[in-house]
Amino acid sequence: MGDGQTLGSPHRGGTLRLTASSSGGTLDPQINYTSEYAQLFTVLYDGLLNFRKADDRTSDEVVPDLAETVPQPEDGGRTWRFTLRQGVRFSTGQEVTVADVAASIRRLFRVGSPTAGSFYGAIVGADICLRDPAHCTLAGGLKVDPATREVVFHLSQPDAEFPQKLAFPHASILPANMPDHDLGNVPAPTTGPYRFISYDPDRGAVLERNPFFHVWSADAQPDGYADHIRYDFGLPDEAAVTAVENGQYDWMFDMKPLDRLGELGARHTRQVHLRSLYGFYYVPMNVNIPPFNNRMARQAVNRALDRRAMTILYGGAAVAGPLCTMVPPGISGALDECAHTVGADPDHPAPSWREADLEGARRLVTASGTAGQKVTVVVQNTAVEMSMGVWLRNMLQAIGYDASVKPLAHSVQLGYIQNTSNHVQISLSDWFADYPSASNFLDDLFGCENFHPGTDNSINIAGYCNKEAQAAMDAAKQETDPARAAELWAQAGRIITRDSPAAPAIRINYIDLVSSRLGNYFYTDLYHMIFSQVWIQ
Amino acid sequence: MTAPTASSSLSAPRPAGPWRRAGRRLARDRAAMVALAVLLAVTAACLLAPVYARDVAHTDPFTSNVAGSVTIDGRSVDIMQPNDNPLHLGLSPIGPTWHASADLLGADSQGRDLAARLLYGGRTSLLISFCAAALCIVLAAIVGIVAGYAGGIVDAVLSRIMDIMWAVPVYLFAISLSIVTVSQGLKLGPVAIASDNLLIPICIIALVYVPYAARPVRGRVMSLRRAEFVTAARALGVPGYRIVLRDILPNVTGTLVVLAPLMMALAMMAESALSFLSIGVQAPGASWGTIIEDGEGLIYTRPMVAIAPGLAIVIVVLALNVLGDGMRDALDVRDSGRERA
């Protein structure tokens, strides 16, 4: 089935049953920013480009999807010229046209997509669209020609990662007549192998085959095996594990509870899949309020953070490992060194993390003059993160602070810690790459443009802005030579490591649990299990 | 004539007071004595928690120790142990070692000594339940005596307030109050109580159980108000407050004393429930309820973390109920009423 077709396969058919503890928010693929729905959208929607659907490292590569090819940039990286495929239809039967492409890219700004500025802000005219979304035209930045099916993007500055950004679900192509507001619970017509039959955020979604789908690129969007996909919401994680073990569901979205890992590894070995993930846990520290407006205080936390303990709390070496830098290993630009461990410092980093340096941390806290200050760690109230939060509180007390933990519900914690009005000093958060690039970690989390005081949409949680680091990151984003870009990212990474606006804690792996009847487990780094490619008969 | 009389009067044994006789009756109640012994033993063990943690277990039960180890029979054993499965998935805290110096009952998910935490948690649970029961009894006595003695509009208002409080399920009431106070603490004019202060669960638990204790007190006071000695005192012009203090209060003391262990048992269960829901005792403090909460995530791998505090609650609550029954039998309210009258 290398051509992406499933017709005639003995594995074609059946209903794939999925479960999650809750829905993932809006169904608008240009707005939703959750991994839960990105995984679903990848079998529903297509962009001009896509990430390869391959069960290996090549899944990080960008391949043409609705565009015929991945073009080479022109004009020193400022112009990208695409040709739209012919004959692709939406699930309504309507053919995808360049007008749909133009409207979809403009809609990104009109609906206030969370990545409109950070991903697509380089398009000429984007600055006007960001200021006045309702009248966004992207004049001069986006040109289409219906006769030749050509779509041309003009950028105000080179962007080496523009193809990855166009492959991200926010750049999905929707019909031109989609409203300029969040679709909420109303699904948009799809181009992928499935379409919605029904959706209720309290109960679940039911998908069926898109009758207008045909395989135009096996790499970007292969056909699906299951006839139907039923995604139920509301089952808590513990119950979901039992349900998948018993074959009542084929797959569960939520993290597997720590107390069930032993049982899963012992009794359901063949149903468990351990895969790598471009993600980590880290400890952002607010650089604008005491005590972490003092660099020595932040460095103290970095030195005291016992990454081994955090690994244990997350589930052990099989699912996590110590992390010393803010770009996880395996990504170009990641630093292969550790500045904050016993016997090392930012000027003399060790090759890897050795152990926590509590004595050194205490000295730094004393020298900073912040000892004895009240510090509150804000964490999610899930079991794993509460455990880590309790550990962090103990660590902060051990180095001289009067520490406490504030657990918040999963649904509110991320917004709460981003908003400067809440005066969060230190928190625990996870972060996953939208695509494998150092920019997804350094620029997103520490870029000056991602600090928006007083809003819940300020992913630079630390409120960090260093002109020298920003200049290196800006240069790296425009650099088309991968080696030079990696050097620039490493340069920015070292500045950030020295300033310590956050303490990297652990890199994590992905644990998937599937039913015993599910075959052809198919995983990509960015979207995890691909629903269209697994067999349930 | 007078001398022999006086002599016989002096040599005659003085009749034992009602409290002394109640004490003797209670002492003859074996079940109540066993319950009292159990309670004293548990209390003593909990009071010795710092000694156990420092000198026996050599551990700080409030500090995470996930990367630590203990020595058992000369061998160093990691506190968090890899699960025995082909995928090496997950770790579990060490189970009971039955070595007092090395995690006797095992460790919790933070690698902390469960036995030491159990003793420290017991101190908190016993303190809260004792203080909450005492406060509840005092409030109930005030409300019950005022309502029962004053009667009329005062009784009607207080009784309706008690009825409204009674109508709300007690745990729902306590949870609602706790959720508000646990997030913001409590501010009463110039007095501010932090959200992690034990006074908050104590006050909440005491408050929600006031109607349960005030009702029997009110009923007893209403019957005493019509008693001959009270009528006589009134006829002699004794002020109302003196009648309450000298005649009413001593006669409801038995009722209050009988209620005390039962209220303490109820308070302990309420505290455990609130702490289990994370709205009672706040970290880094520990109570038996918070330890059960810690054990919830380990129920499949280390059930002892939840079972041990659960068992402790069962034992203490059972002992309090048995002791309460014994005290009720020993301090029969009708007897004391006859004696005083």
Q: What is the pLDDT of residue B14?
A: 67
In contact, B323 and B34? CB cutoff 8 Å = no
Residue of A nearest to B63 (CA): A394
- The Cα–Cα gap between B168 and B50 comes to 40
In contact, A282 and A350? CB cutoff 8 Å = no
- The Cα–Cα gap between B137 and B158 comes to 16
Residue of B nearest to A273 (CA): B87
Q: Is residue B180 part of a domain?
A: yes
CA dihedral A286, A324, A498, A490 (to 10 degrees): -110
Q: Is residue B153 part of a domain?
A: yes
Nearest to B19 by CA among B336, B293, B287, B252: B336
pLDDT tens per residue across span B283-329: 778 999 999 998 987 888 889 999 999 999 999 999 999 999 999 88
- The Cα–Cα gap between B148 and A114 comes to 66
Look at strands A150-154 and A79-83 and give their pairing: antiparallel
Neighbours of B193 (CB within 10 A): 15
- The Cα–Cα gap between A287 and B162 comes to 52
A383 touches chain B (CB under 8 A): yes
A260 touches chain B (CB under 8 A): yes
Domain that holds residue B189: 125-331
In contact, A384 and A413? CB cutoff 8 Å = no
Q: What is the mean predicted confidence (pLDDT) over B88-109?
A: 89
Could you give the number of structural domains in chain B? 1
* Between residues B22 and B1, the one the model is more confident about: B22
- The Cα–Cα gap between A374 and A213 comes to 59
* Own/partner long-range contacts of A429-433 (Cβ < 8 Å, ≥24 apart): A429/A281, A429/A282, A429/A283, A429/A284, A429/A461, A430/A279, A430/A280, A430/A281, A430/A282, A430/A508, A431/A279, A431/A280, A431/A282, A432/A35, A432/A277, A432/A278, A432/A279, A433/A278, A433/A279, A433/A331, A433/A526
- The Cα–Cα gap between B101 and B109 comes to 19
- The Cα–Cα gap between A48 and A294 comes to 46
Residue of B nearest to A390 (CA): B64
Q: Which phi and psi (to 5°) does residue A152 adopt?
A: -120, 125
Within 8 A of B297 by CB-CB distance, chain A residues are 257-259, 383
Q: Residue B339 — very low, low, confident or very high, per pLDDT cuts 50/70/90? A: very low
Tell which of A390, A412, A416, A428 to mutate to test the B interface (max B CBs under 10 Å). Answer: A390
Interchain CB distance below 8 Å, A257 and B92: no
Tell which of B62, B91, B277, B282 to mutate to test the A interface (max A CBs under 10 Å). Answer: B91
pTM (two decimals): 0.78
Q: Is residue B202 part of a domain?
A: yes
- The Cα–Cα gap between A319 and A315 comes to 6
A318 touches chain B (CB under 8 A): yes
Nearest to A453 by CA among A409, A423, A496, A414: A423
Q: Tokens representing B220?
A: 């007893």
Residues 6 or more apart whose CB falls under 8 angstroms from that of A133 comprise: A109, A110, A111, A112
- The Cα–Cα gap between A53 and A42 comes to 9
Least confident of A181-195, B4-18, B106-120, B148-162: B4-18
Interchain CB distance below 8 Å, A312 and B82: no
Q: Is residue B92 part of a domain?
A: no
Interchain CB distance below 8 Å, A317 and B300: no
Interchain CB distance below 8 Å, A313 and B66: yes
Residue of B nearest to A396 (CA): B63
In contact, A190 and A91? CB cutoff 8 Å = yes
Within 8 A of B67 by CB-CB distance, chain A residues are 306, 308-309, 312
Within 8 A of A263 by CB-CB distance, chain B residues are 300
Within 8 A of B300 by CB-CB distance, chain A residues are 259-260, 262-263
- The Cα–Cα gap between A447 and B90 comes to 35
* Residue carrying structure tokens 């902390």: B112
Q: What is the pLDDT of residue B11?
A: 56
- CA distances to A388, A417, B172, B276, B284 from B287, in Å: 20, 29, 20, 9, 10
Residue of A nearest to B62 (CA): A394
Interchain CB distance below 8 Å, B297 and A261: no
Within 8 A of B59 by CB-CB distance, chain A residues are none
Residues 6 or more apart whose CB falls under 8 angstroms from that of B206 comprise: B131, B132, B133, B135, B136, B139, B267
Q: Tokens representing A237?
A: 């994680």
Neighbours of B30 (CB within 10 A): 9
Residue A317 is nearest to which of B88, B92, B297, comparing CB atoms?
Answer: B88
DSSP state, residue A326: S
Interchain CB distance below 8 Å, B110 and A387: yes
Q: Is A379 helix (H, G, I), strand (E, B) or coil?
A: strand
B63 touches chain A (CB under 8 A): yes
Q: Is residue B264 part of a domain?
A: yes
A346 touches chain B (CB under 8 A): no
Residue of A nearest to B92 (CA): A259
- The Cα–Cα gap between B289 and B175 comes to 14
Q: What is the pLDDT of residue A455?
A: 84
Tell which of B81, B85, B290, B293 to mutate to test the A interface (max A CBs under 10 Å). Answer: B85
In contact, A109 and A121? CB cutoff 8 Å = no
pLDDT tens per residue across span A358-412: 999 999 999 999 999 999 999 988 778 888 998 999 999 999 999 988 888 776 8
Residue B89 is nearest to which of A265, A391, A404, comparing CB atoms?
Answer: A265
Within 8 A of A391 by CB-CB distance, chain B residues are 64, 66, 110
B60 touches chain A (CB under 8 A): no
Within 8 A of A306 by CB-CB distance, chain B residues are 67
Within 8 A of B110 by CB-CB distance, chain A residues are 387, 390-391, 394
pLDDT tens per residue across span B173-188: 888 888 888 777 888 7
Q: What is the pLDDT of residue B338?
A: 40
Q: Which phi and psi (to 5°) does residue A489 adopt?
A: -65, -40
Q: Chain B closest CA to A176's CA: distance in Å?
A: 47
Q: Chain A closest CA to B87's CA: distance in Å?
A: 5
| Residue A163 CA neighbour count, 13 Å, CB half | 23
Residue of B nearest to A388 (CA): B110
Within 8 A of A511 by CB-CB distance, chain B residues are 89
CATH number at B324 reads 1.10.3720.10
Q: Chain A closest CA to B63's CA: distance in Å?
A: 6
Q: What is the pLDDT of residue B10?
A: 52
Interchain CB distance below 8 Å, A269 and B301: no
Interchain CB distance below 8 Å, B90 and A316: yes
Within 8 A of B284 by CB-CB distance, chain A residues are 390, 393-394
- CA distances to A50, A475, B208, B247, B336 from B253, in Å: 80, 82, 21, 11, 10
Q: Chain B closest CA to A163's CA: distance in Å?
A: 37
Nearest to A257 by CA among A208, A206, A315: A315
Within 8 A of B185 by CB-CB distance, chain A residues are none
Interchain CB distance below 8 Å, A391 and B66: yes
Q: Chain B closest CA to A300's CA: distance in Å?
A: 19
Q: Is residue B266 part of a domain?
A: yes
Prediction ipTM score: 0.70
A269 touches chain B (CB under 8 A): yes
Q: Is residue B27 part of a domain?
A: no
Residue A309 is nearest to which of B64, B82, B300, comparing CB atoms?
Answer: B64
Q: Is the peptide bond before A10 cis (omega within 30 degrees of 0)?
A: no
Please give the full DSSP string across A60-74, using - where no structure is assigned.
GSEEESSBSS-PPPB
pLDDT tens per residue across span A208-238: 999 999 999 999 999 999 999 999 999 988 8
Rounded to 10°, the helix B114-150/B288-296 angle is: 130
Interchain CB distance below 8 Å, A316 and B300: no
A358 touches chain B (CB under 8 A): no
Q: Chain A closest CA to B285's CA: distance in Å?
A: 11
Q: Which phi and psi (to 5°) does residue A507 adopt?
A: -90, 150
Nearest to A240 by CA among A224, A264, A275: A264
Ramachandran region, residue A84 (left: φ > 0; alpha: ψ -120 to 50; beta: rest): beta
Angle at A490 between CA A488 and CA A491, to 5 degrees: 65
pLDDT score of B85 more than 90: no
Within 8 A of B91 by CB-CB distance, chain A residues are 312, 315-316
Residue of B nearest to A314 (CA): B90
Size of interface A-B (CB pairs under 8 A): 101
Neighbours of A366 (CB within 10 A): 14
Q: Is residue B247 part of a domain?
A: yes
- The Cα–Cα gap between B102 and B108 comes to 13
pLDDT tens per residue across span B34-45: 999 999 999 999
- The Cα–Cα gap between A322 and A505 comes to 6
Q: pLDDT digit of tens for each residue in chain A (537 aa)?
A: 457 788 888 999 999 999 999 888 899 999 998 889 999 999 999 999 999 999 998 999 999 999 999 999 999 889 999 999 999 999 999 999 999 999 999 999 999 998 898 899 999 999 999 999 999 999 999 999 999 999 999 999 999 899 999 999 999 999 999 999 999 999 999 999 999 999 999 999 999 999 999 999 999 999 999 999 999 999 988 899 999 999 999 999 998 888 788 889 888 999 999 998 889 999 999 999 999 999 999 999 999 999 999 999 998 888 999 999 999 988 989 998 999 999 999 999 999 999 999 999 999 999 999 999 999 999 988 778 888 998 999 999 999 999 988 888 776 888 899 999 999 999 999 999 899 899 999 999 999 988 989 888 788 999 999 999 999 999 998 888 889 999 999 999 999 999 999 999 999 999 999 999 999 999 998 999 999 999 998
DSSP state, residue A338: B
